[in-house]
């Protein structure tokens, strides 16, 4: 019997192939006819052997919401008729923007419409300079009456030794340990860096380009302000009140680097860096969030406490303030101007369905980009780079 089965195998194959078209036709007709019971529908197989079957389409999956993607450019309407484009900032691009903002500062500051501002700065600085000793004594008397210690003392939380060549640059974090030091700490670099990091973290977690761009603008504005402030300190060399050897402090113009570093309080009073940094921070945040009306009053109030604390502890004269505040304000305005683009309002002839938006211009680098081209010279092949300035 087994041998009979083997002998009839070829005949059975031929019979199967002969009836295959009929079976396929029957299955096609069954597909057009009303559906058969499930048991009958699944009992017959038609087609090529299982190892060559095409994959059946996957059963439909329930709709799933894809994770939100962070848009490259987002629009934010901050007031009726006022909408701004905010691009997603690239990592650490704000460092390159420092040179751009420094290069744009002369064109932004030295304009005819700023003449009144310069006159006001000169007059206010001169008036405060004349009253410096009296303002300083009054501030310290008020501090004594209120029980505010004039000492600016801080407690070290951690310190990491770090050196670059002969320069000792430890990484340390100090926290104030009295109320006057708390006010003074409002202008510390760690405070404003923490504010910028907070905006950056929120922007990344919530896919908020405006918050991330605000952090980028803060970094650019604060460091650009710091470059100019530190340069002016090293050019003017004014004594701080608590080390002053004469009324209103002595001015030691153009001290050498070694002289300046040997005793910094003897040369770094003018202009104030703390208020400059604070003004830059308040202006950047307030300009990017104009719908939050509490930002400027709160920021200016904290700046008032900061300014008083620096008079109480004898770090600054009152006449150091106007120029520092103006520098922080100017570099904040430049950073905000470069960090966003306003959406053009639709004209009277614009269609009703139009959004009124325009594509923001591609930001241009502050430097001239290099030009790359293929290079062939005899047997040598490479790439040439040309940089014109």
Residue 155's pLDDT is what? 79
Q: Which residue has the higher pLDDT, 316 or 366?
A: 316
Any idea which of 36-50, 116-130, 338-352 has the lowest mean pLDDT? 36-50
Q: Give the number of other Cβ atoms within 10 Å of residue 298's Cβ.
A: 14
Residue 361's pLDDT is what? 53
Helical H segments across the chain, by residue range: 2-7, 9-32, 38-41, 93-109, 115-146, 179-185, 189-206, 209-236, 257-262, 273-288, 295-312, 321-339
Residue 242's pLDDT is what? 92
Residue 201's pLDDT is what? 95
User: Average pLDDT for residues 79-91, to the nearest whole number?
Assistant: 87
Measured CA to CA, the distance from residue 106 to residue 86 in angstroms comes to: 25
Task: Pull the structure tokens for residue 31.
Answer: 């597909």
pLDDT above 70 covers what percent of the chain?
74
What lies within 8 Å, CB to CB, of 221 at 6+ separation is: 101, 280, 281, 283, 284, 328, 331, 332, 334, 335, 336
Any idea which of 20-34, 72-86, 206-220, 266-280 has the lowest mean pLDDT? 20-34
pLDDT in tens, 39-61: 333 444 444 444 444 445 555 55
Q: Which residue has the higher pLDDT, 162 or 358?
A: 162
Asked if pLDDT for residue 152 goes beyond 70, the answer is: yes
Of 276, 295, 275, 272, the closest CA to residue 214 belongs to: 295
- For 339-362, b/e burial (b = at least 16 CB within 10 A) is bbbebeeeeeeeeeeeeebeebee
Measured CA to CA, the distance from residue 160 to residue 287 in angstroms comes to: 37
Task: Pull the structure tokens for residue 238.
Answer: 């004014």
Residue 21's pLDDT is what? 43
Of 153, 132, 139, the closest CA to residue 312 belongs to: 139
Any idea which of 97-106, 144-153, 283-292, 347-356 has the lowest mean pLDDT? 347-356
Of 213, 245, 240, the closest CA to residue 336 belongs to: 213
- pLDDT band of 156, cuts 50, 70, 90: confident
Round the average pLDDT of the chain to a whole number and report it: 79
By the 8 A CB rule, do 187 and 277 touch? Answer: yes
Measured CA to CA, the distance from residue 172 to residue 160 in angstroms comes to: 6
- Considering 63-67, 112-116, 160-164, the range whose residues carry the highest mean pLDDT is 112-116
3-state DSSP assignment of residue 288 = helix
Residue 227's pLDDT is what? 95
- pLDDT band of 161, cuts 50, 70, 90: confident
Task: Pull the structure tokens for residue 192.
Answer: 């404003």
Asked if pLDDT for residue 163 goes beyond 50, the answer is: yes
Per-domain boundaries in the chain: 82-342
Asked if pLDDT for residue 173 goes beyond 80, the answer is: no
Q: Which residue has the higher pLDDT, 64 or 153?
A: 153
Of 260, 237, 202, 222, the closest CA to residue 98 belongs to: 222
Any idea which of 28-42, 93-107, 312-326, 375-389 has the lowest mean pLDDT? 28-42
Task: Pull the structure tokens for residue 193.
Answer: 């860096």
Residue 54's pLDDT is what? 47
Angle between helices 209-236 and 189-206 (to 10 degrees): 160
- pLDDT band of 363, cuts 50, 70, 90: low
Residue 190's pLDDT is what? 86
Measured CA to CA, the distance from residue 217 to residue 339 in angstroms comes to: 7
Q: Which residue has the higher pLDDT, 373 or 126?
A: 126
Q: Give the number of other Cβ atoms within 10 Å of residue 372's Cβ.
A: 10
Chain-centroid distance of CA 241 in Å reads 36
Asked if pLDDT for residue 146 goes beyond 70, the answer is: yes
Query: DSSP character for 48?
Result: S
pLDDT in tens, 223-243: 999 999 999 999 999 999 999
Asked if pLDDT for residue 325 goes beyond 60, the answer is: yes
pLDDT above 90 covers what percent of the chain?
50
Residue 68's pLDDT is what? 52
- pLDDT band of 10, cuts 50, 70, 90: very low
- pLDDT band of 274, cuts 50, 70, 90: very high
Query: DSSP character for 157?
Result: E
């Amino acid at each position: 019997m087994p041998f009979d089965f083997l002998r009839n195998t070829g005949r059975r194959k031929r019979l199967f192939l002969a009836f295959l078209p009929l079976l396929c036709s029957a299955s096609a007709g069954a597909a057009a006819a009303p559906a058969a019971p499930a048991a009958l529908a699944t009992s017959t197989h038609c087609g090529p052997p299982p190892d060559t079957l095409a994959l059946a389409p996957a059963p439909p999956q329930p709709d799933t919401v894809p994770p939100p993607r962070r848009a490259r450019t987002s629009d934010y309407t901050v007031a009726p008729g006022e909408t701004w484009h905010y691009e997603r900032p690239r990592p650490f691009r704000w460092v390159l923007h420092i040179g751009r903002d420094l290069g744009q500062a002369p064109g932004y500051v030295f304009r005819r419409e700023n003449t009144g501002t310069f006159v006001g700065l000169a007059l206010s600085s001169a008036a405060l300079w004349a009253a410096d000793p009296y303002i300083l004594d009054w501030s310290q008397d008020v501090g004594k009456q209120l029980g505010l210690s004039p000492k600016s003392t801080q407690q070290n939380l951690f310190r990491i030794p770090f050196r670059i060549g002969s320069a000792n640059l430890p990484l340390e974090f100090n926290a104030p340990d009295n109320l006057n030091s708390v006010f003074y700490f409002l202008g510390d670099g760690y405070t404003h860096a923490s504010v910028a990091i907070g905006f950056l973290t929120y922007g990344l977690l919530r896919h908020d380009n405006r918050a991330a761009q605000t952090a980028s603008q803060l970094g650019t504005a604060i460091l650009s302000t710091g470059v100019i402030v530190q340069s002016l300190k090293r050019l003017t060399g004014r004594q701080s009140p608590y080390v002053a050897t004469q009324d209103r402090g002595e001015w030691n113009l153009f001290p050498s680097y070694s002289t300046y570093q040997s005793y910094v309080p003897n040369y770094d009073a003018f202009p104030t860096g703390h208020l400059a940094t604070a003004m830059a921070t308040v202006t950047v945040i307030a300009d990017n969030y104009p719908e939050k009306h509490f930002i400027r009053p709160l920021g200016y109030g904290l700046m008032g406490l900061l300014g008083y604390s620096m008079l109480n502890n004898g770090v600054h004269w009152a006449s150091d303030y106007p120029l520092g505040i103006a520098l922080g304000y100017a570099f904040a305005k430049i950073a905000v101007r470069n960090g966003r683009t306003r959406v053009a309002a639709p004209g009277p002839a614009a269609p009703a369905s139009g959004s009124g938006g325009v594509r923001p211009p591609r930001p241009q680098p502050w430097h001239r980009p290099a030009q790359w081209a293929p290079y062939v010279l005899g047997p040598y092949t490479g790439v040439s780079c040309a940089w014109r300035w």
